């Protein structure tokens, strides 16, 4: 039996619609409630928008100013944001301070974020804090970056993996840390709050396939507050979209050959010096935005000219140091 022409055309159209439905990309969804949950969970008020597809999030942030200082120290330094803000004459809500200490390298990195105010006042804050700290600590390098924070960045939430920090500072998962009693308590709370998640006897946490992103965040917030476990997050972007506007170096090192101003001699210095000699400049936009070429340290021969002879001498210094 042969199909009539009209029936055949209808059949072809139907097949094309079905095939196209498989090729239609999943559209990223925006959700105000999800944005509020995300900001509360990550504790980041600079986030002003997000879209998500599955567990992949694209985050929109405010452009904010910040300063970074690297200290040379063999002990951990404790910073008080309230004390810092009082000493520079600005309210604490204008400054957010975080610091990280690497005991192996005897260095400490202090990063200060200035919430949107004005460039002039933020520069004033950065200058006052730097001058105050350099009186007390040995500073390797320091810089301030204005209007240069990430604008867009992608993250993937690994909802099947939660982790925390034990009393020794080591990362632990719920399976490693939770007692049977705690597992039972969590299970009771899951039931009482209708969380779309299960936890087995070993402490493994698994979200139901039907769980929405808001349901996941609600449970994650509760688990974070009650037990201190955070969902693992992976940066899904090779390069974050950034704006490089004004970068001001507050402190240069005086180590001959340290052209990237990090306080050490290394391969990074030879790479930067070679690019500077070849191009007559160093384009920081193609790498770390805060690296500004230190012309004083680049003139290793001391002849007032930065050329291949300086590069040769730098390479010799690196070989001799090994």
pLDDT at 215: 94
CA distance linking residue 244 with residue 170, whole number of Å: 36
Average pLDDT estimate for 41-46 = 83
3-class SS at 215? helix
pLDDT at residue 151, rounded to an integer: 62
**Length of the chain measured in residues:** 322
pLDDT in tens, 160-178: 899 998 877 788 999 999 9
Rounded distance, CA 294 to CA 272, Å?
Answer: 10
Percent of the chain with pLDDT over 70: 77
- Using the predicted structure, report yes or no on whether residue 248 has a pLDDT greater than 80: no
Confidence of residue 20 (pLDDT cuts 50, 70, 90): very low
pLDDT digits (tens, 9 = 90+) for 98-157: 776 665 556 777 888 887 667 778 888 888 989 988 888 888 878 887 766 556 778 889
pLDDT of 11 strictly over 50? no
CA of residue 219 relative to chain centroid, distance: 24
Does the pTM exceed 0.85?
Answer: no
Residue pair 270/315 in contact by the 8 Å Cβ criterion: yes
Q: Can you give the pLDDT at residue 88?
A: 85
Higher pLDDT, 171 or 25: 171
Alpha helices by DSSP H, listed for the chain, are 5-23, 32-42, 81-88, 119-134, 174-177, 180-193, 213-227, 267-279, 295-298, 308-321
- Asked whether the predicted pLDDT for residue 284 surpasses 60, the reply is no
What pLDDT, on the 0 to 100 scale, is given for residue 31?
Answer: 61
Numbers of helices and strands, H then E, in the chain: 10, 13
Biggest CA–CA distance in the chain, Å, is 95
């Amino acid at each position: 039996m042969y199909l009539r022409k009209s029936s055949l055309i209808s059949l072809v159209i139907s097949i094309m619609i079905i095939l196209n439905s498989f090729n239609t990309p999943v559209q990223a969804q925006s959700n105000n409630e999800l944005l509020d949950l995300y900001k509360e969970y990550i504790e980041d008020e600079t986030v002003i928008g997000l879209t998500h597809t599955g567990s992949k999030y694209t985050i929109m942030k405010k452009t904010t100013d910040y300063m970074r200082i690297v200290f040379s120290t063999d002990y951990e330094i404790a910073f008080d944001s309230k004390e810092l803000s009082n000493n520079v004459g600005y309210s604490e809500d204008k400054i957010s301070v975080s610091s990280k200490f690497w005991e192996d390298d005897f260095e400490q990195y202090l990063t200060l974020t200035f919430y949107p105010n004005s460039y002039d006042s933020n520069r004033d804050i950065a200058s006052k804090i730097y001058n105050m700290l350099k009186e007390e600590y040995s500073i390797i390098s320091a810089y301030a970056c204005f209007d240069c924070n990430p604008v867009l960045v992608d993250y993937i939430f690994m909802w099947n993996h939660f982790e925390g920090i034990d009393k020794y500072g080591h990362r632990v998962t719920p399976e490693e840390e939770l007692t049977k009693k705690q597992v039972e308590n969590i299970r009771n709370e899951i039931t009482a709050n209708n969380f779309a998640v299960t936890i087995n006897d070993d402490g493994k946490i698994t979200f139901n396939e039907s769980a929405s992103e808001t349901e996941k965040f609600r449970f994650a917030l509760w688990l974070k507050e009650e037990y201190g476990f955070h969902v693992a997050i992976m940066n899904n972007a090779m390069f974050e979209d950034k704006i490089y506007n004004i970068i001001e170096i507050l402190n240069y090192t005086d180590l001959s050959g340290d052209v990237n101003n990090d306080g050490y001699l290394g391969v990074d210095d030879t790479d930067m010096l070679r690019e500077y000699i070849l191009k007559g400049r160093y384009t920081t936009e193609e790498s770390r935005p805060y690296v500004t070429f230190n012309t004083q340290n680049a003139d290793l021969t001391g002849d007032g000219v930065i050329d291949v002879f300086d590069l040769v001498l730098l390479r010799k210094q690196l070989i001799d140091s090994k």
